[in-house]
């Protein structure tokens, strides 16, 4: 993904053996949401109120749901099993509606952005996360900028990014020597 952002499929939250995370489906675009996480064994208190407001009352009587959202939301242990249940209900709401409702009840929520959306976002542009640099043959290529900022020292670009295979022979010769 770092060398070719166009083929990035999403973060591999559980490691290379798990499918890429692509968000929770809604009526229009995916979201991330969680009522558990770093708040301890009790989870976040608003899961029940969120379910009531959204009309997900069947979750409140279904024994598979943990009643606080810790295990069935975010990256909880029951998510692979219960994600389809949430997504069936989420299909009635837009991402914007769900994010607002989840946040209202003290959950974490955000619209899930694809790599191209994140790179085009105004904040990404303002931070200069991506920059164009010279490439072989006089062209330019978009790359991730150096991630740190220093008040007096700025990293200096020493040349262009090599084309695929450009240094293969010289590197192989060094390895043979």
HEC per residue, 46-70? CHHHHHHHHCCHHHHHCCCCCCCCC
Secondary structure of residue 172 in the 3-state scheme: helix
Same domain, 128 and 108: no
- Pairing state of beta strands 108-111 and 140-144? unpaired
Same domain, 86 and 127: no
* Tens of pLDDT, residues 67-88: 777 788 887 888 889 999 999 9
Same domain, 48 and 134: no
Same domain, 76 and 155: no
Measured from the Cβ of residue 99, the count of other Cβ atoms closer than 10 Å reads 20
**Rounded Cα distance, 144 and 132, in Å:** 9
pTM score, whole prediction: 0.65
Count of CA atoms in the C-beta half-sphere (13 A) of 80: 6
pLDDT value for 14: 60
Same domain, 51 and 89: yes
Instruction: Give phi and psi for 142, each to the nearest 5.
Output: -85, 130
Same domain, 12 and 78: yes
Domain that holds residue 18: 5-112
Same domain, 9 and 89: yes
Structural domain total, the chain? 2
pLDDT value for 132: 84
CA distances (Å), origin 116, targets 4, 130, 172: 12, 12, 35
pLDDT value for 1: 46
- Spatial contact of 50 and 102, defined as CB atoms under 8 Å apart: yes
Same domain, 98 and 27: yes
pLDDT value for 122: 93
- Spatial contact of 147 and 134, defined as CB atoms under 8 Å apart: no
In the chain (177 residues long), the average pLDDT of successive 10-residue segments reads 57 63 91 74 75 95 85 85 96 98 93 84 88 81 80 75 84 92
Same domain, 141 and 102: no
Secondary structure of residue 33 in the 3-state scheme: strand
């Amino acid at each position: 993904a770092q060398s070719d952002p166009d083929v990035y499929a999403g973060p591999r939250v559980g490691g290379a053996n798990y499918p890429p995370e692509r968000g929770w489906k809604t009526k229009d675009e995916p979201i991330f949401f969680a009522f558990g996480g770093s708040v301890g064994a009790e989870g976040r208190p608003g899961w029940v109120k969120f379910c009531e407001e959204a009309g997900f009352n069947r979750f409140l009587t279904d024994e598979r749901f943990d009643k606080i959202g810790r295990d069935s939301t975010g990256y909880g242990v029951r998510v692979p099993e219960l994600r389809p249940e949430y997504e069936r209900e989420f299909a009635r709401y837009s991402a914007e509606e769900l994010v607002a409702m989840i946040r209202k009840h003290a959950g974490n929520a955000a619209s899930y952005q694809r790599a191209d959306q994140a790179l085009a976002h105004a904040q990404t542009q303002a931070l200069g996360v991506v920059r164009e640099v010279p490439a072989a043959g006089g062209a330019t290529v978009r790359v991730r900028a150096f991630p740190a900022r220093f008040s007096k020292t700025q990293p200096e670009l020493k040349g262009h990014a090599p084309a695929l295979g450009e240094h293969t022979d010289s590197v192989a010769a060094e390895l043979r020597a």
